[in-house]
């Protein structure tokens, strides 16, 4: 059991098993009167159970508790737990997150924590340990063992039947198989009945009891064995996905080496305060977000950003909790407390995102609420009415039982959430945070994408695009010589345009740049200096106009540069202008390939929205082959996105998550670039790309498209198989074992189909 207070814990949990966080926004999705809890410092239950209790000003004293629930294999199970716990005296609200396997409860202080655990167990499910214990292999778990024993007993019963053994022996073996395999099923069914919730355990238990009542012992045992085996396999598959997401939190170490008062000491990560110096040795994982103060190393940031290649880090660079340090030792200044690290926030947001229902899941929920009562009522009519009209009771009762099993909507209900859980988990492993099933589905339906220009499609820094050497009477230099002179003059300048010229010139200068004397910067205009005894000017056209230098010889070159949307820089000597340089924002090297991949994925309309002037916007758009709209103010970007939504339906917006926040909000799906460590981007974007890596955008869209395709497959297959068996059962064409096999087989099939997404997310 985990304590959670307020929006986020103030220090990390003691194990990777559960992060223990539920924001009020998450909780309020399920109820309109979510209760805020005053933040407290969590402690372990063993140390002091009262530490779980917090006071809410003005609303009395309540506690918020998080419990890991084990054994749930579909949303129907979660509803049973939710209702059972919700009936406890003093319980304000109980919400079960099936995707994360977690119960979030708010209750009175006098409600003992053991009572909550007991209620979960009474509902037929287990309570997971929050301590860092080694996970038991699946085949050694009590559920797997009971399924195996039950299956062996069932096989023995069949063998006795073929051998012609006495009926008493066969019945005894079948009864043992039912008892061994059916205990968790019957216990969960009783809890469902007490909670007045007609879940799959109730339906299967009713079918088993009915089969026993009419003497169909083999059929009854087959129902239990097949259902128990199917449940165990589903739980195993889903728990693997849950565990992979929860394991993110366990990447950060519990203890760190800090420097305090001139001494070095090992302390708990949760005790480190912002500003303290942490010593990170080679091969260690970082426990907190921070900034490198001293030393150089390479860091594997894949748990946070999805970048598989280690990144070089030095003084001033940011590092993230959970990252693996390379061969260099570094001193790191803590920028966040352990419980508020980027890794912890990502883990919490992923679990909350997995709990948010997709539109397809909401449709399935509505469908199942109508489907199950209708089929159960039909089964009852089928079992009762024909015998009253003269039909054979055993025959029609048996057909009613088969239809009762088909009434279980398990496969249909699980078809969508398991895919959502798998898709979001797969994306998180690649450094892509998708904020819920709705965002996952919407990203999979995108027809158009709008992009911010600077920092998204371009690198946000100028590069030298062209050099035009000019011929003047008495003085001429070629392009290479002009670039060398310009680079020499710009060597002492701090202007970004100067850096672009210096970088290009330094690459071409084989013997180094010539020395400059009498250098003087002209703020806002350019610079001047002497090279080899001759005076030169470099800067904007305005500098030359102010110095009375005619630009007539450069008029054609300036017109060409401006026509291409580049920024002009002029190099001039005593006789006039010598060369014109065109500088432009650098297009990301992977931008064109990413856009082509998006087009191939079915995103037909790609538009760049920018506040830049017409000419530079046109140049970038032409180079990348996208549409564009220039000179847009923030509110005009929002209007442009809304127009695209009206025209195409599902439209995404890609930006930095801060400056483009209004446009991101106006789109169907907002993609924030480079969100690692950025609070605004993590909280506001529908999809946050942890790394400033444009190809991640194509990965996110492709993964979402795959998820939408799998959801459609799962829903279609589930409905088709259910519909087929509903039609066949009244005609006696469906045996009980076949109905269970079809139901559980379909459930396992859609589960495994959904989990294919998780394999796609392996970094």
Dihedral angle of Cα 241, 246, 250, 254, to the nearest 10 degrees: -160
Mean pLDDT across the chain, nearest whole number?
A: 79
Local structure of 567: helix, strand or coil: strand
**Residue located via tokens 């005053």:** 38
Domain ranges of the chain: 2-127, 142-245+351-415+708-760, 253-340, 420-457+590-706, 459-587
Q: Cβ contacts of residue 512 below 8 Å, gap of 6+? A: none
Q: What is residue 249's three-state secondary structure?
A: helix
Terminal Cα distance for the chain, rounded: 31
Give the model's pLDDT for residue 195. 74
Is residue 591 left, alpha or beta, with left meaning phi > 0 and alpha meaning psi from -120 to 50?
alpha
pLDDT for 357 equals 62
Say how far apart CA 625 and CA 628 lie, in whole Å.
Answer: 10
Q: How far apart are CA 123 and CA 700, in angstroms?
A: 38
Q: Which helix (H) or strand (E) holds 67?
A: strand 61-70
Residue spans of the chain under pLDDT 70: 1-61, 73-75, 99-100, 129-138, 237-238, 240-250, 306-308, 350-362, 364-365, 368, 471-477, 507-511, 657-659, 675-684, 759-763
Pairwise CA distance, residues 343 & 348, whole Å: 9
DSSP output for 380-397: HHHHHHHHHTT--HHHHH
Distance CA 321, CA 429 (A): 15
> What is the C-alpha separation between 207 and 622, in angstroms, rounded?
67
DSSP code string of 6-36: SSS-SS--SSTT------HHHHHTT-TTPPP
DSSP string, 89-146: TTEEEEEEETTTTEEEEEEETTS-HHHHHHHHHHTT-EE---S-PPPPPGGGSHHHHH
Q: In the CATH hierarchy, which fold is given to the domain comprising 2-127?
A: Alpha-Beta Plaits (3.30.70)
Here the tokens at position 485 are: 């002179």
Active site annotation includes 452: yes
3-state secondary structure of 225: helix
Record the tokens describing residue 244, joined without a space. Answer: 């992979």
The CATH number assigned to the domain with range 420-457+590-706 reads: 3.40.50.1000
- What is the pLDDT at residue 480? 82
What was the pLDDT predicted at 9? 34
Cα atoms in the Cβ-side hemisphere of radius 13 Å centred on 24? 11
CA–CA separation, 599 and 652 (whole Å): 14
**Tokens at residue 495, please?**
């202007």
Q: Whole-angstrom Cα distance, residue 446 to residue 705?
A: 9
- Among residues 104, 452, 585, 656, which one is catalytic? 452
The Cα–Cα gap between 8 and 32 comes to: 20
Please state the three-class secondary structure of 135-170 as a single string: CCCHHHCHHHHHHHHHHHHHHHHHHHHHHCCCHHHH
591, HSE (Cβ side, Cα atoms, 13 Å): 23
Which of 444, 672, 670, 702 shows the shortest CA–CA distance to 597?
A: 702
318 with 324: CB under 8 angstroms? no
Helices (H) and strands (E) in the chain, counts: 25, 30
Q: Report which of 743, 741, 742, 722 is spatially closest to residue 226, judged by C-alpha positions.
A: 741
Alpha helices in 527-587 (DSSP H): 541-546, 555-563
Q: Are 334 and 273 in contact (CB under 8 A)?
A: yes
Angle at CA of residue 319, ends 313 and 323, nearest 5° = 100
Place of tokens 């497959």: 713
Whether 399 contacts 317, CB under 8 Å: no
647-676 in b/e burial notation, b at 16+ Cβ within 10 A? ebebbbbbbbbebbbebbebbbbbbbbbbb
**Residue-level pLDDT at 474:** 42
- Write the DSSP string, 497-516: HHHHHHHHHHHH-SS-PPP-
Beta-strand relationship, 605-609 and 627-629: parallel
Fold match between domain 253-340 and domain 459-587: no
459-587 topology per CATH: Calcium-transporting ATPase, cytoplasmic domain N (3.40.1110)
Q: What φ, ψ does residue 41 adopt, rounded to 5°?
A: -85, 115
Report the DSSP pairing between strands 651-655 and 669-672.
parallel
Residues in the chain, how many?
763
The SS3 assignment for 693 reads coil
**Which ranges constitute the DSSP H helices of 416-540?**
417-429, 437-444, 479-490, 496-508
Which numeric CATH code is attached to 253-340? 2.70.150.10
């Amino acid at each position: 059991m985990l304590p959670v207070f307020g929006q986020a814990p103030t220090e990390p949990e003691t194990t990777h098993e559960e992060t223990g966080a539920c924001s009020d926004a998450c909780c309020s999705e399920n109820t309109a009167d979510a209760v805020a809890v005053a933040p407290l410092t969590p402690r372990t239950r063993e140390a002091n159970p009262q530490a779980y209790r917090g006071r809410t000003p003005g609303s009395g004293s309540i506690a918020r508790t998080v419990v890991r629930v084990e054994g749930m294999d579909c949303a129907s199970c979660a509803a049973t737990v939710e209702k059972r716990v919700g009936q406890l005296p003093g319980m304000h609200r109980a919400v079960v997150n099936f995707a994360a396997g977690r119960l979030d409860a708010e209750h009175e202080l006098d409600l003992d924590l053991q009572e909550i655990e007991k209620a979960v167990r009474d509902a037929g499910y287990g309570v997971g340990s929050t301590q860092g214990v080694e996970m038991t292999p699946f085949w050694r778990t009590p559920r797997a063992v009971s399924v195996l024993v039950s299956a062996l007993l069932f096989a023995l019963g069949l063998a006795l039947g073929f051998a012609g053994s006495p009926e008493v022996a066969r019945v005894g073996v079948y009864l043992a198989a039912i008892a061994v395999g059916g205990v968790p099923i019957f216990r969960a069914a009783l809890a469902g009945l007490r909670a007045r919730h007609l879940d799959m355990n109730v339906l299967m238990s009713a079918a088993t009891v009915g089969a026993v009542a009419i003497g169909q012992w083999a059929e009854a045992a087959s129902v239990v064995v097949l259902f128990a085996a199917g449940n165990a396999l589903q739980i195993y598959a889903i728990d693997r996905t849950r565990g992979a997401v929860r394991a993110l939190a366990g990447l950060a170490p519990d203890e760190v080496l800090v420097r305090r008062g001139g001494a070095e000491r090992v302390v708990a990560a949760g005790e480190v305060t912002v500003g303290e110096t942490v010593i990170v040795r080679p091969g260690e994982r970082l426990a907190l977000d921070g900034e490198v103060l001293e030393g150089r190393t390479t860091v594997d940031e894949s748990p946070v950003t999805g970048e598989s290649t280690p990144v070089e880090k030095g003084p001033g660079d940011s590092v993230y909790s959970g990252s693996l340090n390379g061969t260099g030792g570094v001193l790191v200044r803590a920028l966040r407390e352990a419980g508020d690290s980027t890794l912890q926030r990502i883990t919490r947001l992923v679990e909350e995102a997995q709990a948010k229902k997709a539109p397809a899941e909401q449709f399935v929920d509505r469908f199942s609420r109508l489907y199950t009562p209708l089929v159960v009522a039909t089964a009852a009519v089928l079992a009762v009415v024909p015998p009253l009209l003269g039909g054979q009771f055993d025959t029609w009762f048996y057909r009613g039982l088969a239809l009762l099993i088909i009434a279980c909507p398990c496969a249909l209900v699980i078809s969508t959430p398991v895919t959502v859980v798998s898709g979001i988990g797969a994306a998180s492993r690649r450094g892509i945070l998708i904020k819920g099933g709705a965002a996952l589905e919407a990203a999979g339906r995108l027809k158009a994408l709008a992009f911010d220009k600077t920092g998204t499609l371009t690198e946000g820094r100028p590069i030298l695009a062209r050099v035009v050497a000019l011929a003047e009477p008495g003085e001429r230099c070629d392009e290479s010589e002009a670039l060398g002179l310009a680079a020499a003059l710009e060597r002492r300048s701090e202007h970004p345009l100067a850096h672009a010229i210096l970088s290009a010139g330094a690459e071409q200068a084989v013997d180094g740049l010539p020395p400059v004397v009498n250098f003087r910067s002209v703020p806002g205009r350019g610079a001047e200096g002497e090279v080899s005894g001759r005076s030169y000017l470099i800067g904007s056209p305005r500098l030359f106009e102010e110095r009375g230098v005619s630009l007539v010889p450069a008029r054609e070159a300036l017109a060409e540069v401006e026509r291409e949307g580049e920024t002009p820089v002029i190099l001039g000597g005593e006789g006039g202008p010598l060369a014109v340089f065109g500088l432009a924002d650098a297009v990301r090297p992977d931008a064109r390939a990413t856009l082509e991949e998006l087009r191939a994925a079915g995103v037909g309309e790609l538009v760049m929205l920018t506040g830049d002037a017409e000419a530079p916007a046109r140049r970038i758009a032409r180079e990348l082959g996208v549409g564009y709209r220039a000179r847009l103010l923030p509110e005009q970007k929002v209007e442009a996105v809304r127009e695209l939504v009206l025209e195409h339906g599902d439209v995404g917006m890609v930006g930095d998550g801060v400056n483009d926040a209004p446009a991101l909000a106006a789109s169907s799906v907002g993609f924030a670039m480079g969100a690692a460590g950025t609070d605004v981007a993590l909280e506001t974007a529908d999809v946050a790309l942890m790394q400033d890596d444009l190809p991640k955008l194509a990965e996110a869209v492709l993964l979402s498209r795959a998820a939408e395709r799998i959801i459609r497959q799962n829903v279609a297959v589930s409905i088709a198989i259910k519909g087929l068996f509903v039609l066949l059962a009244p005609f006696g064409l469906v045996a009980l074992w076949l109905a269970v096999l079809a139901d559980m087989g379909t459930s396992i099939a859609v589960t495994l189909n959904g989990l294919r997404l998780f394999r796609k997310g392996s970094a």
